[in-house]
Amino acid sequence: MEPKVESTDMPVSKSRPTMQDVAFAAGVSLKTVSRVVNNEPRVDKQTKERVNKVIAELGFRRNDIARSLRQGQASSMISLVIEDIANPFYSHIARGVEMVAQQYNYMVTISSSEENPVRERGLVNGILRRRVEGLLIVPAGHDHSYLAAEQRLGTPIIFLDRPPVNLVADTILLDNRGGTYRAITHLIEHGHRRIGMIGGNPFVFTGAERLAGYRAALHDHGLLFDPSLLRFDRDDPKRAQEATHELLTHPDPPTALFATSNRISVAVLQALHHSTQGIAFIGFDDFELAAMLPLPVTVIAHNPLDMGQRAAELLFARLQGEELPTQNLTIPTELIIRGSGELPPCHKE
């Protein structure tokens, strides 16, 4: 296909028109074009029209890279680093962030760290080299002291879902411990004494907090903590299903299960699907269709979209120079009773 040549006296070149080109074609100075482009007040009506016409003809578009270089650091971009955008928890956070960013005419870059500290650091370095104005991060790494210099230079950095390590920064967390405590207590109140828990990495902040909530609930109700009822590092669906089977065939099996994330919940429920044992179940994180399964699923729910919005709002407040002390927000959780968490203990036979 031949590119269609348009009827201009300017040759259709392969290079992008600049303000200089526009100025030349309109017979004005570069600065005048700049004024028109940026809607500055003192420009003659006719000059403005002529310039705008040329801009349209040439298909000129302001180069925001050059602009932000000149203006300091106004790249009008912020970045979000999460674990995996395909996970609904993170995609809802991303949506919340983006909604706020659009109000400010900012773009958002989104990168998935895949829970890999090395990758995370590479991503963050790339982001900062591009001089984005702010960073929202769900950290995977275990040391964020390397961000201190960046913070001092004025780049707002906000941690979501997990706190920073070796760094003081704004942080927005879920009530992991309280939510889990609530879930376990709920099961205990329904008569359960042996409650299995299937989770991810127990050394990651959220994992540790949820484990702490589990232990606290047992302790406060005078129940024994039995490590043989716990399975960790089960973020992989296959491994979560294996864990489920292990617990079901435990010599003294649990009568209830608690899963610490949406992904794990789904895998566990799949494993339980063909089981005839009516085992009680509660999961951390709500998920679509939880209410429509044969046995509707009781969950600890929260609002990740809100989490993203509040994080972004805080970021923009800082970008606009508001002087706030370091913020530590906690998003509340809620027990949604649907049926699976209210089953009574039912011993195998």
Partner DNA sequence: TTGTACGCGTTATCAC
Partner DNA sequence: GTGATAACGCGTACAA
Binding mask 222-261 for a second copy (x = CB under 8 A): ----------------------------------------
Cα–Cα–Cα angle for 87, 88, 92, rounded to 5 degrees = 125
Task: Looking at residues 45 to 104 of the shown chain, list those that interact with a second copy (rule: CB under 8 A).
Answer: 59, 61-66, 68-69, 73, 75-77, 79, 84-86, 88, 91-92, 94-95, 98, 102
* Residue 66 makes contact with DNA by CB under 7 A: yes
Q: Which one, 66 or 118, has the nearer CB to DNA?
A: 66
Select from 38-46, 122-130, 181-189, 222-230 the region that touches a second copy (CB under 8 A).
Answer: 122-130
* Residue 295 makes contact with DNA by CB under 7 A: no
Residue 236 has φ and ψ, to the nearest 5°, of: -70, 130
Please, what is the minimum distance in Å from the beta carbon of residue 160 to a second copy?
Answer: 16
Q: Alpha carbon 250 to chain centroid distance?
A: 36
Q: Which of 3, 41, 227, 251 binds a second copy (CB under 8 A)?
A: 3
Evaluate whether 254 touches 229 at the Cβ level (below 8 Å).
Answer: yes
User: What is the rounded distance in angstroms from the CA atom of residue 254 to the CA atom of residue 342?
Assistant: 15
Using DSSP bridges, classify how beta strands 334-336 and 298-301 pair: parallel, antiparallel or unpaired. antiparallel
> Which of 59, 73, 57 has its CA nearest to residue 7?
57
CA atoms within 13 A on the CB side of 331: 21
* Residue 8 makes contact with DNA by CB under 7 A: no
* Residue 228 makes contact with DNA by CB under 7 A: no
* Residue 326 makes contact with a second copy by CB under 8 A: yes
- Compute CA distances 242 → 2, 61, 208, 237, whole Å: 60, 57, 22, 9
Question: H-helix or E-strand containing 67?
Answer: helix 64-71
Task: Looking at residues 130 to 149 of the shown chain, list those that interact with DNA (rule: CB under 7 A).
Answer: none
* Residue 52 makes contact with DNA by CB under 7 A: no
Q: Which one, 186 or 263, has the nearer CB to a second copy?
A: 263
Q: If you search the block for the tokens 């004005």, which residue do you land on?
A: 28
Q: Which of 4, 14, 70, 274 binds DNA (CB under 7 A)?
A: 70
> Which of 127, 134, 70, 69 has its CA nearest to residue 101?
134
* Residue 320 makes contact with a second copy by CB under 8 A: no
* Residue 322 makes contact with a second copy by CB under 8 A: no
Evaluate whether 128 touches 150 at the Cβ level (below 8 Å).
Answer: yes
Structural tokens at position 271: 């494993």
Residue 146, amino acid: Y
* Residue 76 makes contact with DNA by CB under 7 A: no
Structural tokens at position 250: 């435990």
Binding mask 13-32 for DNA (x = CB under 7 A): --xx-xxx------xxxxxx
Residue 160 has φ and ψ, to the nearest 5°, of: -115, 140
- Residues at the contact surface with DNA, assessed by CB under 7 A: 1, 15-16, 18-20, 27-32, 34-35, 37-38, 41-44, 46-48, 60, 62-63, 66-67, 69-71
- Interface residues toward a second copy, by CB under 8 A: 1, 3, 12, 14-16, 59, 61-66, 68-69, 73, 75-77, 79, 84-86, 88, 91-92, 94-95, 98, 102, 105, 107-112, 125-131, 149-150, 152-154, 168, 266, 269-270, 273, 287-289, 291-294, 305, 326
